[in-house]
């Protein structure tokens, strides 16, 4: 009898937990806050649909779904967007210049060295054969052309 009573009490508690209401309140800073107990009025009641999910989808979000809160972010102003775009362009240009310089250095080393080697996982050197050296030089040239382009 005690077991049956415990089981029924658990069912009642579980049923009440799934039937909770969700409200959206805007705080003093203009942020949207989702809660089940609004501290201030007016509070907008939101209908929330739940569905069972697997563990993998719950961790990172299922494909095609946006993360909560991203759609509520205020849009950036046009000057801020322009500044962000200029910063990205500058970082991209700096990154491109760095990659070009690294590719040129590797190409010069490959062309001017008579012996090339690979470093093994335990630190030992394995010297390349003539065919491997030629392939490494061709690869270094292609990499330099990719990153440097018309520079």
Contacts with 148 (C-beta within 8 Å, 6 or more apart), sequence order: 100, 103, 104
CA 95, CA 63: separation in Å to the nearest integer?
30
Q: Residue 91: enclosing H or E segment and its boundaries?
A: helix 78-112
Cβ partners under 8 Å of residue 30, min gap 6: 74
**Please, what is the average pLDDT of the chain?**
75
pLDDT at 47: 75
Provide the pLDDT for residue 35.
81
Segment among 5-19, 63-77, 88-102 with least mean pLDDT: 63-77
Average pLDDT over every residue of 52-72: 55
Task: Give the pLDDT mean for 61-72.
Answer: 53
User: What was the pLDDT predicted at 127?
Assistant: 92
**pLDDT, tens only, 2-60:** 766 676 676 665 555 555 678 788 877 888 888 877 766 667 777 777 777 665 555 55
Q: Could you tell me the pLDDT band of residue 138, with boundaries at 50, 70 and 90? A: very high
- Which are the contacts of 20, defined by CB distance < 8 A and separation ≥ 6? 36
Residue 130 predicted with pLDDT over 70: yes
């Amino acid at each position: 009898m005690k077991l049956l009573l415990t089981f029924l009490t658990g069912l009642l508690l579980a049923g009440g937990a799934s039937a909770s209401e969700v409200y959206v309140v805007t705080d003093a800073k203009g942020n949207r806050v989702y809660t089940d107990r609004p501290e201030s009025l007016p509070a907008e009641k939101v209908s929330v649909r739940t569905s069972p999910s697997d563990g993998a989808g719950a961790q990172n979000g299922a494909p095609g779904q946006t993360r909560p809160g991203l759609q509520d972010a205020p849009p950036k102003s046009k000057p801020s967007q322009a500044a962000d775009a200029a910063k990205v362009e500058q970082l991209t240009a700096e990154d491109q210049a760095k990659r070009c310089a690294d590719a040129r250095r590797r190409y010069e080393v490959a062309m001017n060295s008579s012996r090339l080697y690979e470093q093994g996982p335990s630190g030992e050197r394995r010297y390349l054969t003539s065919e491997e050296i030629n392939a490494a030089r061709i690869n270094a040239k292609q990499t330099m052309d990719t990153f440097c382009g018309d520079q």
